[in-house]
Structure 1
Amino acid sequence: MRKTLSLLFCLYSIFCFSQEKNSSEKLISHVNPFIGTGGHGHTYPGATMPFGMIQLSPDTRLDGWDGCSGYHYSDEYIYGFSHTHLSGTGVSDYGDVLLMPTNTVNFNNGASEEKGYRAHFSHENETASPGFYKVLLDDTNIEVELTVSKRSGIHHYNFPKNSKQIVILDLEHRDKVLSSEIKTISKTEISGHRHSDAWAKDQRLFYNIQFSRPYKNVTFLNEKTEGEKVKAAFEFDASEGNELEIKVAISAVDEAGAKKNLEAEIGNKSFHQIKNEAETAWKKQLRKIEIETENQNEKTIFYTSLYHTMLAPNLYQDVDGRYRGMDLKIHQSNDFENYTVFSLWDTYRAAHPLYTIIEKERTTHFINSLLAKYDEGGILPIWPLAANYTWCMVGYHAVPVISDAYLKGIRGFDAEKAFEAMKHSAMQDKLGLKSYKEFGFIPVEEESESVSKTLEYAYDDWTIAEMAKAMGKTEDYKLFSERAQYYKNVFDPETKFMRGRFRNTWFSSFDPYEVNFNYTEANAWQYSFYSPQDISSLINLMGGKAEFEKQLDKLFTAKNETSGREQADITGLIGQYAHGNEPSHHMAYLYNFVNKPAKTQEKVHQILNEMYQNAPDGISGNEDCGQMSAWYVFSAMGFYPVTPASNQYIIGTPLFEKATINLEDQKKFEISTENLSDTNKYIASAKLNGKPLNRSFIYHSEIMAGGKLVFKMTDKPSNWATKDDEIPKTEITENLIVSAPFIAKGDVAFKNETEISLAVASEKTDIYYSLNDSEFKKYSKPFIISEETVLKTYAEQLPAKPSARNLGKRSALLSTHFYKIDPNLSIKLETEYANQYNGGGDNALIDGVHGAIDFRTGAWQGYHDKDLKATVNLGSSKEVKTVSVNFLQDQRSWIFYPKDVSCSVSENGTDFTELPIQKIEAEIPSEEAGIKTIEFEINKNIQFIKISAKNFGALPKGHLGYGGKAWLFVDEISPLTSEGGK
């Protein structure tokens, strides 16, 4: 009997293993690496390992925004196969160490009219799967196969019979080369380095390359083996066979590290052995979440999304534990794996919360990597790339990644050091933080993207407060919970939008559809629902749940177009909800907070089905290192982390019959559905571990404990989870602040006089003000200013029972300088400026306020592809010595000096005398922003001054925006009279 049981157990084990193996193989077959390679997805199809250091992929595009990954599905030519690529980013880098098999020695890459080594290909002869890529090069009939290990990869080339066998090594390919070298170790081994300048300003990469057969000839471009233009052509003897394998490993440390990586990971293993190991690793990864559905397209979209979440961050450490730190020095770590490529502005929202569920161990490596960067570089990174700070995007979003993990019980890092690093980021004075700390918001005139920065800093500060509270740090909790409410200071109660505060007024004229420099890749619609840490208070600011719901409805039904600046990132529009960019990602779930989960279910179902497709153009925006896909992974399972660090996931609507999360401790969390169909998208009821679940959110701890969540679906909205005690809530209830008052009415630069009205968003709050340092008095009604004045103001909220010991809370003290324009002075603009760069309105060029070197601080007036034509009327004839006008140059932002500036003057407004035209060499490339003052000598009595400035026009070749048109930025037309003033 015992033998029979043993035999049955063995048979059962074999059956289970077989089922598991078949299941894993099916999962890998459902990944389509070509999703996102078209449109603006910016993904690559090549071979890589989960979170691996090497990405061995074809390069079909050399530059341009849609060439950020090196590959675009619409292209027809392959330039070669390089070893590093970025997945879904909006900025280009990598593409290191390009190899290309061909049949002639030709060092031209073919980008120009001259034929080079590039080769035509067709997608019919192209295959990709996790860890593997294959293509036939039509022009040469060479078949290429690629596979990888973590830090190394293998090229397998099959040349046609009797053809020449040439392999080009191009170290100049892609980014600007700082230094490169090819060292010949033997006929079968070479090594060297490539140091480059792109997004990462000083990327250092070393390589080791080993050929399966000795080459018989090598030719170097210009006979150079080192320098900035290093290329080599290796010829192999065709009589020795048609197949050639090339093993390549990379390192950021040194050539010895690259060789050690190759020996440790590949050694004498064959191509097929490495391919099998890569596929085995991916099968294990993809089993972390298993779904059941009859819809094969949805299954492919899901597993490709899960695959995309596992492409970054990237390992950045050799097998011996050495890595290059943010100080560009070599460090050793035996305690954690070092990673790079943290697209934190994107990934803190959903990708990193996903990792806290399915990658707990790796999350500790991520956090220790971030802390190492703090030690080496002096600050937590915003967007680290290859041992470089890029300072890309806004916020300090390493902070919520750390806090979210800590509050979920992931503690494999030094919490005290982590908290120190988090505080350090928040206490800086750069990137608008000085103003943010002083005023409780960032003024438009102090810092670009001021609204977005204020909002994102406030959320980050809340996560610091929550970690401080958990660690018993009372004073820190108080400080940062106060700062977490600073989002209130950019909320305009009249329009119900988050708006820029320009000299304590609201930036105007206001268009919520306008994409301008007050927001990061967005407009007012797309940032006005962002206070995930305090949604209850945001609802109150907007007038309560009914008003908040109406505003959400307007968001999704507004016209689906934007005004103002061209912003390619704003895609996937449903009304003004922009799923193609991250600030919108939480919005569909906000209906749950106002007792309307059915509306969340409608919107989430729509987004899941409309914004993701099994096609190259299947992602509605940049993939952004996994964030776009993490939204899908979460939402398809039925919930989403609206507020990372709250330990809550807000329930949407499940897409599959069943989804199982296989946790690292062998527990399982299953989400299953009853009566699911395309029309049955609404939740009728839910059960968690057999008990009714009557709330529209679940806790992180409930997932990690394992169990079963069952949804019963219906085709009509239900009353499930609609009561006040059944809805999610994020709310700051302690250390409440008083909002800063604002100037609701009044011109900062005025003629004659201006009427000033003050207001504040906080209820039951008094406003106090002072004029020219007079004694503060309580504001009760509008008042008039008729001279140049400095207004100071603050708000105060008294407690219910004020006393000597119980004084009122005050806002920050704000100061505004009001300028009086000579009432006789006027200006007529014959060309139209862009509203987003209005500089303060029609009088901006004569208001006495000068623009700063940063064009995004509001004082410059901008003209896109238009000349400036303006006439200044002095009001009467005056002796004018000179007239000057200022122009800005910031070529990186498409702002060029004018080609020439002309001035003509008149005493009667009819007969004008033209002065000599002043030309500017505006075409000279410059990386630096600058201000140029053009001055004309007049020395005569005049009343009218005409200024014309010729826009640069079409952007020059070599400029990132080539094909587009330049901006002309101007400020202050300043006549100097004999009296010495304007």
Structure 2
Amino acid sequence: MLSNDMKTALCCLLLWAPALVTAGAQSVPADPVAWVNPYIGTGSGPIGYGGMMPFVNTPFGMTDWTPQTRQNKISGVSYKYDDTKITGFIGTHQPAIWMGDYGYVTLMPETGPLATEPASRGMSFTHADEITHPDYYSVRMTDPDGKHIRTEITATERCSYLRVTFPAGRTSRILIEASRPGIDGSASVDHSTHEITGYNPDRMDKHLSTIPLPHFKGYFVVQFRKPFHRAETYGLEGKAERGAWAEFDTREGEQIEVRVGTSFISIDQARANLKAEIPTWGFEAVRQKLHATWNDKLSRVQVTGATDDQKHIVYTALYHALLYPRVFSEQGRYYSAFDDTIHNGDSYTAFSIWDTFRAENSLLTLLAPERIPGMITALLQNYKEGGWMPKWPNPSYTNIMIGTHADSLVAEAMVKHFKGFDYQTAWDAVYKDAMTPPDDDTHRLWKDREEHVPYEARGGLTYYKQLGYIPTDTTAEAASRTLEDAYDDWCVAQVAKTLGKTTDYEFFLKRSQNYRNLFNKDTGLMQGRLRNGDWASPDAGWTEGTSWVYTWMVLQDLPGLVDLMGGPAKYNAMLDQHFAGGHNVHKNEPSHHYGYLYDFSGQAWKTQAKVREIAAAEYANLPAGLDGDDDCGQMSAWYLFTAFGFYPVNPASGDYMIGSPLFKSMSMRLANGKTLRVNAPLNSSTNLYIQSATLNGKPLDKPVLRYDDIMQGATLDLVMGPKPSAWASR
């Protein structure tokens, strides 16, 4: 005899087979959504810990929904595969494990005595009792009395829909946690409408900015399909209401349906978001719509010749890459975390730009080009409202990482002919990045994650303009800053070129050669310098890396680096030593393009072998199958490009360097109706070397694929073999 919750689970499995996605064997799915394994990156193991969560959300959705097995914080996310208890289901805005959350809200079903604290309200679960997809999450939890509660979640861009199956009783309860100890959140109950509303003003990263945001709040509205028979708020030590709860009389297996709207504008706007996105009750209809939305995006990539595990990696990477940047506007308005006011227009946030300028943004220009103008406009709005384009908005300035790589995003959009944003404002913004030092530049070290300092933009720019480099004895991370600023100068030059500003183009192109000022001919490596011009310690001045890591950070002029090192033979020898010495740490972004660097020195066959090696070692269809945080899609974007067989070493150039495709065939359906195809029918684990190549039937003898060729519809045919060849050796 099946219980009602078991019947519900069985129906889900039949309707959405195969629904259960675990680390084990998979049956063949009927659509791309079923190939996504949201567990990837959520657990610790041989590859590492990815700090990911099994999100239910739309592509680029404003609020992510996930089960909560622990209280999230900076350096800790809400869900970890290794945990055995669930303490809530959170609407979170935490974009990465190294960042904080803001404006979040948590719901938790309960039976028995009221338990408001996470430690007391947790219920046990197993992964065998979970179902996780981009469009749907379900889990059966066991309370301390051995009774079962099943919670199901689906979502829209700013709202969620929960369906909770309770045992029989008068204390079937849903707890809403508006905030945590030390946070002055608020919750209230409206008995006439059976709503619980409130807000959470918490911003975990507020210490990384000097901009006060007194009006910032994450608002929520919770609605119940069945009227509650009792509801109250609860507080903490006599302070404001930290949360609320609602109780229901339930029969065995009865389902309580809950809609949650979120907003950064107001409670009324949260209610309006609900009305717009979930206007009627009906869980399955909302889920089916979300399922179709994900299928539309995921089905744009097709793969042939992949194992089941590889297909799970491909489509999970695609799912991860399509989550960020996140929407931050609501029905034509948005709250700005840069001037603390409401504006008309559309907006985005969670730009992890130090990471994502490398490949994630480039992937979105192909797979979500309709979003690019709005994303660039959002950065320009931030510039107008706060004075600068941000480098890591969460949702305001955070000073996380170095450089002003929003310059790269703007340049890439212009080079790739995107319209729909103001070119003059874009020039003003990138020019300020390149020419205006931040406040008190020569009196601050600009340490990593330094608290309560102004926006740093290009910290040390004063010295960079005077000396052609940033001294390690004046500014933190100075050597890395010099190299990254030189790349950004090249990007500013491309913006100037697009706008016909010839003098500015030539100025910034010349300044982009400043990387040469750090090259030590005696060691063959980049090295920081002191203010007096002497060499600094080889270990000084680097950001999450070493001189071995940053020597290759010359995205804008790799042929120049080859010459600087003494020619291809010496360059290749140093690159060989880089990999042999264990300096290539793929879990951190500065290493992401290194496998492709042999393309610039006549040994493309080494690139073909190296990128295959990295892909096999760093990605797996396992909870521990992703290392070091996905960084808002960058790790996943690297894999997707590598699977296709090419990668944007210099993303703002519009060029993609060719590696070795992972499968026999991959295709990408572009938004303009054209299709990109990469065919390698002889491809295998041993046939990994390109013997010859044609692009649209014409011989291709250079390891380069161009954006404009892709957008016209391109077919890249590759003949693969087991031995290195002379292809692209010139």
> Same fold by TM-score, threshold 0.5 exceeded?
yes
Report the more deviating stretch, 536-545 or 346-355: 536-545
Equivalent position SS for 1:71: coil
1:211 aligned residue: 224
Partners of 1:452 and 1:506 in 2: CA distance: 17
Cα distance, 1:250 vs structure 2: 0.4
Deviations 1:627-650 (Å, cap 9, x if unpaired)? Answer: 000000101000000001211100
**1:51-79 deviations in whole A, cap 9, x for unaligned?**
00121111112246652x31111111211
Residue 405 to residue 465, structure 1, CA distance change in 2 (3 Å): same
Query: After superposition, where does 1:454-469 map in structure 2 within 5 Å?
Result: 454-469=482-497
In the other structure, the counterpart of 2:61 is 52
Q: Alpha-carbon deviations, 1:236-269, whole Å to 9, x = none?
A: 1225972101100101101111000001100114
Task: Spell out the pairing of 1:339-488 with structure 2 (5 A cutoff).
Answer: 339-386=348-395, 388-430=396-438, 431-488=459-516
Matched, 1:186 2:192: yes
Partner of 2:37: 32
Residues 70, 95 of structure 1: 8 Å contact kept: no
Report the Cα distance in structure 1 between the residues aligned to 2:170 and 2:607, rounded to whole angstroms.
Answer: 61
CA distance in 2, matches of 1:499, 1:364: 38
Following the alignment from structure 1 to structure 2, what is the Cα–Cα distance between the partners of residues 707 and 222? 61
1:117-136 equivalences in 2 (<5 Å): 117-136=121-140
> How do residues 75-94 of structure 1 correspond to structure 2 at under 5 angstroms?
75-94=83-102
Runs (4 or more) in structure 1 with deviation over 6 Å come to 223-226
Q: 1:261 to 1:108 in 2, by over 3 A?
A: closer
Residue 466 of structure 1: how far off its partner (Å): 1.5
Q: Which amino acid aligns with 1:106?
A: L
CA contact (8 A) 1:253 1:324 kept: no
Amino acid at match of 1:465: A
Which residue number corresponds to residue 264 of structure 1?
276
Residue 539 of structure 1 is matched in structure 2 by 562
How far off is 1:542 after superposition?
1.6
Shift of 1:505: 5.4
Match of 1:604 among 600, 611, 624: 611
Output the CA distance in 2 between the equivalents of 1:493 and 1:506: 14
* Letter matched to residue 313 of structure 1: P
Pick the aligned partner of 1:74 from 82, 91, 102. Answer: 82
Does 1:720 find its partner at 2:720?
A: no
- Asked if the contact 1:142/1:159 (under 8 Å) is kept, the reply is yes
Match runs of 1:543-692 below 5 Å: 543-558=566-581, 575-692=582-699
State the Cα deviation string for residues 2-25 of structure 1 (Å, max 9, x = none): xxxxxxxxxxxxxxxxxxxxx994
**Structure 1: how far apart are the matches of 2:306 and 2:552?**
36
For residues 180 and 589 of structure 1, what CA distance do their matches in structure 2 show?
52
Q: Specify the code of the residue in structure 2 equivalent to 1:421.
A: A
Please tell me whether residue 314 in structure 1 is matched to residue 314 in structure 2: no
CA contact (8 A) 1:293 1:656 kept: yes
Higher helix share: 2
Q: Is the Cα contact below 8 Å between 1:166 and 1:233 reproduced in 2?
A: yes
Give the residue type in structure 1 aligned to 2:422: D
Whose radius of gyration is greater, 1 or 2?
1
Higher RCO, 1 or 2 (CA under 8 Å, sep at least 6)? 2
SS in 1 for 2:651: coil
Aligned to 2:710: 703
Unaligned runs of 5+ in 1: 1-22, 559-574, 724-982
Equivalent residue number for residue 966 of structure 1: none
CA contact (8 A) 2:693 2:718 kept: yes
Offset of residue 439 of structure 1: 1.1
The equivalent of 1:198 in structure 2 is: 204
How many residues align? The count is 669
Distance 1:30 1:415 in 2: 40
What is the one-letter code of the residue matched to 1:266? I
Cα deviation, 1:78-115, whole Å, max 9, x if unaligned, reads 1101112434442232471111001134344243xxxx
Amino acid at match of 1:442: I
CA contact (8 A) 1:102 1:166 kept: yes
Shift of residue 660, structure 1, vs aligned partner: 1.0
Alignment match, 2:260: 248
Separation in structure 2 between the aligned mates of residue 690 and residue 263 of structure 1, nearest angstrom? 53
Question: In 1, distance between residues paired with 2:98 and 2:114?
Answer: 32
Alignment of 1:488-503 (within 5 A): 488-503=516-531
Output the amino acid matched with 1:96. Answer: Y
Contact conserved, 2:470 with 2:481, CA < 8 A, in 1? yes
CA distance in 1, matches of 2:393, 2:192: 37
Distance 2:405 2:598 in 1: 25
* Long gaps (5+) in structure 2: 1-27, 208-212, 439-458
Q: Of Structure 1 and Structure 2, which has the larger fraction of its residues in strand?
A: 1
**In the alignment, what sits opposite 1:106?**
114
Matched residue type, 1:134: S
What letter matches 1:371 in structure 2?
L
Paired amino acid for 1:487: Y
Q: Deviations over 1:867-913 (max 9, x none)?
A: xxxxxxxxxxxxxxxxxxxxxxxxxxxxxxxxxxxxxxxxxxxxxxx
Residues 65 and 618 from structure 1, CA distance in 2 versus in 1: closer, same or farther, beyond 3 angstroms? farther
In the alignment, which residue of structure 1 is the partner of 2:304? 292
| Rounded Cα–Cα distance in structure 1 between residues aligned with 2:425 and 2:235 | 52
Once residues 505 and 61 of structure 1 are traced to their aligned partners in structure 2, the CA distance between those partners, rounded to angstroms, is: 50
Distance 1:718 1:71 in 2: 47
Contact 2:518 2:529 in 1 (8 A): yes
1:281 counterpart residue number: 293
Q: For the residues of structure 1 that align with 2:437 and 2:621, how far apart are their CA atoms?
A: 46
Is the contact made by 1:187 and 1:216 (CA closer than 8 Å) also made in structure 2? no
In 2 relative to 1, CA 669–165 (structure 1 residues): closer, same or farther, beyond 3 Å?
same
Q: TM-score of the superposition, structure 1-length normalised?
A: 0.66
Contact preservation (8 Å) 1:131, 1:279? yes
Whether the 8 Å contact between 1:98 and 1:173 is mirrored in structure 2 is: no
Measured in 2, the distance between the counterparts of 1:664 and 1:611 equals: 30
Q: What is the DSSP-based 3-state SS (H/G/I as helix, E as strand, rest coil) of the residue aligned with 1:659?
A: strand
- Partner letter of residue 196 of structure 1? D
Alignment of 1:751-770 (within 5 A): none
Distance 1:64 1:261, change over 3 A: closer
> Kindly, what percent of the aligned residue pairs are identical?
37
The separation in 2 between residues aligned to 1:218 and 1:163, in whole angstroms, is 12
Query: How far has the Cα of 1:408 moved from its partner?
Result: 0.8
- Tell me the distance in 2 between the aligned counterparts of 1:468 and 1:320: 31
- Inter-partner Cα distance in structure 1 for 2:112 and 2:633: 40
Alpha-carbon distance, 1:293 to partner: 2.2
Measure the CA separation in 1 of the matches of 2:487 and 2:172: 58
Q: Is the CA contact (8 Å cut-off) linking 1:24 and 1:284 kept in structure 2?
A: no
* Residue of structure 2 aligned with 1:167, choices 174, 178, 185: 174
Q: Which whole-Å CA distance do the structure 2 matches of 1:126 and 1:222 have between them?
A: 32
CA distance in 2, matches of 1:99, 1:507: 56
Q: Provide TM-score, normalisation by structure 2.
A: 0.88
CA contact (8 A) 1:605 1:653 kept: yes
CA contact (8 A) 1:46 1:55 kept: yes
* 1:317 alignment partner, SS class: coil
Give the distance between the partners of 1:153 and 1:308, measured in 2 at CA: 19
Give secondary structure in 1 for the equivalent of 2:483: helix
Counterpart of 2:626 in 1: which secondary structure?
A: coil
Amino acid of the residue matched to residue 490 of structure 1? L
The question of 1:177 aligning with 2:177 is answered no
Give the secondary-structure state (helix, strand or coil) at the position aligned to 1:502: coil
Q: 1:522 matched to which residue of 2?
A: 545
For residues 200 and 310 of structure 1, the distance between their equivalents in structure 2, rounded to whole angstroms, comes to 26
CA RMSD of aligned residues (A): 2.0
